[in-house]
């Protein structure tokens, strides 16, 4: 049981979800605590923004090194850093000076982002390398856990805060991460994953033209969702749709629809990719279109005078936003991996790791830009018009992505063959890794010897 793939996936996913909880658990109670100590709302906002910006900056370097290190070690070190920063974060309320409190929180939040980025990228790389034939479905399950973490994190944080004060949410989450970390040390296989072929690097992935439209779609979509996170609570209260106590319902609906839909979309993708590799692109374009429609409805847009603001439209819009983000996020990593294989890269665990680095960088940069730019536009032009502007941005992005993919089909690399014409080896990745590492190699110098030794840790 301890060595079955599904049990290993369950244990890894539990730690992956705990890492994602670190992102969202502070949302309901940290700003009031910062204000109590003399800080302002802007300073508290920088603490939230520091996580997204650090994750964006660190995602690319981690995407580069994931092909050179043992992915399990990277996953465990990242999760361990998250555990430590959560525990230290729980001690910050002892600081009475507001400026020092916010500065310390900013630093710890940045360190937490470093750890979570390492763990997330490594987890996606492990899933891609461990389950090559079912990668879309397994990545969809991982996205389900991240969606559940975003949905449940604020609620769990508030319950623990009310039960035991500022420190309890952080001590509880840090302890949980530590326990799951120990379990993952025991359960996950220790052997290295297959290294990429010589000449494959993060730069070789970024040189592929098909990667950039996917990255743009991710960036714009996550920025649009961030506008929803920033402005929807106040908008529903001002419009008389929900009271202040019930404003969190919209996040529950949106997060729930995302969490429940991602494994379904992953399963669909897993089946359809065996016959139509264009499925990833059609799903992503359709997701952008649905996201645009839902943002035109949720205001509702002043450009649609026949729509009136009511709870039914609000519920439908929140549900569609969650579904559309699932349609965008689930196929994006798979399409980047398929593009990499089509352009000559190996397509193993290293490629999944590099693709997940691009994914997380775009995700967090979009979240940062959406929160900051969206907040300014909402203050100046109100939520309904801001949502309409971002809806047009998403729709324009969908058209651009469709045009670039049509160009690739007609003038670029051409049509891709479905998976059924290129069966994936069913050999366990550990066996493949051992056979690769056992082959005789010409080691020309101490640098290459050290690199191989570090990889085999």
Query: Cα 107 vs. chain centroid, distance in angstroms?
Result: 21
Report the alpha-carbon distance of residue 77 to residue 119 in Å, rounded.
7
Task: Give the residue from 90, 91, 93, 88 showing the smallest Cα distance to 37.
Answer: 93
CB 96 within 8 A of CB 37: yes
Residue 425 has pLDDT above 80, yes or no: no
pLDDT of residue 198: 46
> Can you tell me the distance from the alpha carbon of 413 to that of 256, in angstroms, rounded to the nearest whole number?
39
Give the least confident one: 195-199, 319-323, 325-329: 195-199
- Residue whose entry in the numeric block shows the structure tokens 């035109």: 296
Q: What is the pLDDT of residues 110-163, one digit of tens each?
A: 999 999 989 988 888 888 777 777 777 787 788 788 878 877 887 788 888 888
Condensed to tens digits (0 to 9), the pLDDT of residues 247-259 reads 668 878 888 888 8
Q: What is the per-residue pLDDT for 107?
A: 93
Distances (CA, A) of 427 to 9, 243, 354, 373: 17, 56, 22, 48
Q: What is the pLDDT of residue 245?
A: 64
In the block, residue with structure tokens 């389950």: 131
Neighbours of 252 (CB within 10 A): 14
Whether 257 and 399 have beta carbons less than 8 Å apart is answered as no
Q: How many CA atoms are closer than 13 Å to the CA of 388, on its beta-carbon side?
A: 12
Q: How confident is the model at residue 412 (pLDDT cuts 50, 70, 90)?
A: low
Kindly report, residue by residue over 16-28, the tens digit of the pLDDT.
999 988 887 887 7
Distance CA 457, CA 71 (A): 10
51: helix, coil or strand? helix
Give the three-class secondary structure for 117. Answer: helix
Q: Summarize the confidence of residues 205-220 as an average pLDDT.
A: 89
pLDDT in tens, 66-121: 777 778 888 999 999 999 999 999 999 888 888 899 899 999 999 999 999 899 88
**Closest C-alpha among 137, 177, 189, 217 to residue 401:** 217
* Segment among 74-88, 103-117, 319-333, 368-382 with least mean pLDDT: 368-382
pLDDT of residue 446: 40
Name the least confident of 236-240, 339-343, 388-392. 236-240
Task: Return the SS3 of 426.
Answer: coil
């Amino acid at each position: 049981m301890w060595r079955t793939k599904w049990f290993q996936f369950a244990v890894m996913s539990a730690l992956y979800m705990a890492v994602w909880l670190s992102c969202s658990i502070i949302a309901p109670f940290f700003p009031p605590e910062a204000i109590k100590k003399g800080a302002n709302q802007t300073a508290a906002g920088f603490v939230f923004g520091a996580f997204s910006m650090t994750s964006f900056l660190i995602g690319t370097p981690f995407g580069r090194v994931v092909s050179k290190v043992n992915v399990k070690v990277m996953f465990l070190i990242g999760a361990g850093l998250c555990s430590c920063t959560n525990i230290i974060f729980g001690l910050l309320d002892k600081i009475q000076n507001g400026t020092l409190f916010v500065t310390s929180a900013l630093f710890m939040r940045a360190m937490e982002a470093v750890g979570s980025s390492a763990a997330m990228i490594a987890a996606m790389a492990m899933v891609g390398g461990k389950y090559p034939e079912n990668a879309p479905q397994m990545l969809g399950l991982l996205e389900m856990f991240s969606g559940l973490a975003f949905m449940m994190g604020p609620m769990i944080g508030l319950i623990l805060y009310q039960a035991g004060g500022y420190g309890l949410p952080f001590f509880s989450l840090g302890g949980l991460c530590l326990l799951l970390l120990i379990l993952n040390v025991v359960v996950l296989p220790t052997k290295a994953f297959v290294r990429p072929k010589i000449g494959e690097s993060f730069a070789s992935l970024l040189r592929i033209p098909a990667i950039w439209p996917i990255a743009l779609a991710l960036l714009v979509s996550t920025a649009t969702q961030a506008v929803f996170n920033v402005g929807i609570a106040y908008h529903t209260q001002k419009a008389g749709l929900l009271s202040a106590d019930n404003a969190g319902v919209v996040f529950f609906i949106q997060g729930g629809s995302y969490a429940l839909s991602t494994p379904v979309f992953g399963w669909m993708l897993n089946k359809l990719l065996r016959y139509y590799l264009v499925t990833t692109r059609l799903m992503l374009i359709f997701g952008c279109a649905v996201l645009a429609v839902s943002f035109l409805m949720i205001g509702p847009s002043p450009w649609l005078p026949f729509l009136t603001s009511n709870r039914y439209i609000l519920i439908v819009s929140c549900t569609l936003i969650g579904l559309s983000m699932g349609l965008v996020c689930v196929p994006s990593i798979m399409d980047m991996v398929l593009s990499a294989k089509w352009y000559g890269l190996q397509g193993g665990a290293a490629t999944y790791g590099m693709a997940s680095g691009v994914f997380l960088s775009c995700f967090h940069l979009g979240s940062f830009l959406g929160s900051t730019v969206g907040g300014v536009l909402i203050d100046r032009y109100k939520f309904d018009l801001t949502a309409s502007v971002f809806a047009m941005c998403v729709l324009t992005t969908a058209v651009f992505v469709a045009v670039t993919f049509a160009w690739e089909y007609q003038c670029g690399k051409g049509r891709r063959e479905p998976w059924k014409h290129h069966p994936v080896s069913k050999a366990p990745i550990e066996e493949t890794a051992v056979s690769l590492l056992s082959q005789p190699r010409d080691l020309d110098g101490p640098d290459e010897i050290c690199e191989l030794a570090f990889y085999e840790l």
